[in-house]
């Protein structure tokens, strides 16, 4: 029986999560339907545009994404401190950016004077919306529902477009996070729809490469930035060096396409040395991450702690964690 999200997502365990949403039956999110010849490629931009909007609205950072033909991958980080820093007005304005709100919140934003009981009601609403704006389930709901409605309208049909639940994997440590990022960014290459990271349309790695190669190099504002190796005065962001990560993705992609483990480069990328992961382990992690780990990804001891905190009686994938994540 599937576990509720409260038994899978917890800031006590980790703020990082890999989420996968899949279409039902033979529904096409994107790509070309080989039976009818109809192209749905334009829907990739729907997903990407919606992701950008939500990344700028929610207190949830988008670390990586890939839009595939019948599913999407995202690596998300819950940013609780960001949500707590918002004023009541900012919470309501952000909520109105994606939902209609109600008559009371609209009156507040227009500057109307509220009675005392209305002010109490507004504070309760703001508290509820603040919680939702840092909730991954609400993020995925806000991503998937508009896409489903638009796709059904275009297909002139009704009914379910997405599977009822999105899959969620907790990324418990740096090694798991690096593997999750690379797994998502390399999905189009493994699926045979792209030849290189820079040609992988509608992926976060392509956006990062284009931004890095721009006349004024920068990092995309809607993606959580790479800020370098961890130290005390480090700014907020992914604790890896961007150049190391891009080299790692390129190196990993070439190994997986050629299917010749270890024959391309005799030197492991610096990020793997720091994370203490060898080439064979890394290839397994970035090639079979979804099938290897049902819920938690990370060192075995971290998985055991997270499972106990979330009330799991049985710990799945523990053997894989012991073999693939060195202590």
Cβ atoms of residues 65 and 75 within 8 Å: yes
| Cα-based angle 238, 251, 66 (whole degrees, multiple of 5) | 55
DSSP string, 195-241: SSGGG-TTBHHHHHHHHHTSSS----TTBPPB--S--TTPPSSBSS-
Cβ atoms of residues 286 and 183 within 8 Å: yes
Q: Where are the domains positioned within the chain? A: 83-132
Q: How far apart are CA 31 and CA 37, in angstroms?
A: 10
Residue by residue, pLDDT tens for the chain (327 residues) are 456 655 567 888 899 999 999 998 666 777 777 777 788 889 999 999 999 999 999 999 999 999 998 899 999 999 999 999 999 999 999 999 999 999 999 999 999 999 999 999 999 999 999 999 999 999 999 999 999 999 999 888 888 899 888 999 999 999 999 999 999 999 998 888 888 889 899 999 999 999 999 999 999 999 999 998 766 667 889 989 999 999 899 888 887 655 544 444 556 678 888 888 888 888 888 888 888 888 889 888 888 888 888 878 777 778 888 888 876
**What is the reported pTM?**
0.90
Q: What is the pLDDT of residue 1?
A: 45
Q: How far apart are CA 75 and CA 57, in angstroms?
A: 16
The strand order across the sheet containing 71-78 reads 60-67, 71-78, 16-22, 167-171, 296-297
């Amino acid at each position: 029986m599937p576990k509720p999200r409260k038994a899978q997502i917890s800031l006590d365990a980790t703020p990082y999560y890999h989420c996968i949403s899949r279409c039902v039956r033979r529904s096409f999110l994107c790509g070309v339907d080989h039976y009818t010849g109809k192209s749905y490629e334009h829907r990739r931009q729907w997903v990407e545009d919606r992701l950008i909007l939500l990344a700028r609205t929610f207190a949830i950072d988008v670390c990586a994404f890939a839009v595939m033909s019948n599913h999407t991958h995202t690596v998300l980080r819950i940013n609780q401190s960001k949500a707590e820093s918002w004023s009541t007005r900012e919470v309501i304005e952000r909520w109105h950016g994606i939902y209609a709100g109600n008559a009371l919140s609209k009156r507040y934003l227009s500057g109307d004077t509220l009675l005392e009981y209305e002010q109490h009601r507004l504070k309760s609403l703001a508290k509820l919306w603040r919680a939702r704006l840092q909730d991954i389930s609400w993020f995925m709901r806000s991503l998937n529902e508009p896409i489903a409605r638009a796709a059904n309208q275009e297909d002139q049909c009704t009914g379910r477009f997405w599977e009822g639940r999105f899959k969620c994997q907790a990324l418990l440590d740096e090694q798991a996070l690096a593997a999750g990022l690379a797994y998502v960014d390399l999905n189009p290459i493994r699926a045979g729809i792209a030849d290189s990271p820079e040609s992988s349309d509608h992926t976060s790695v392509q956006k990062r490469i284009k931004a890095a190669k721009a006349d004024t190099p920068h990092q995309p504002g809607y993606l959580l930035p790479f800020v370098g190796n961890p130290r005390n005065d480090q700014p907020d962001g992914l604790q890896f060096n961007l150049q190391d990560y891009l080299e790692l993705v390129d190196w990993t992609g070439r190994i997986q396409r050629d299917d010749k483990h270890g024959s391309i480069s005799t030197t492991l990328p610096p990020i793997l040395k720091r994370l203490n992961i060898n080439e064979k382990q890394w290839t397994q992690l970035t090639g079979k991450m979804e099938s290897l780990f049902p819920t938690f990804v990370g060192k075995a001891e971290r998985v055991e702690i997270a499972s106990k905190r979330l009330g799991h009686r049985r710990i799945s994938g523990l053997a894989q964690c012991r073999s693939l994540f060195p202590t």
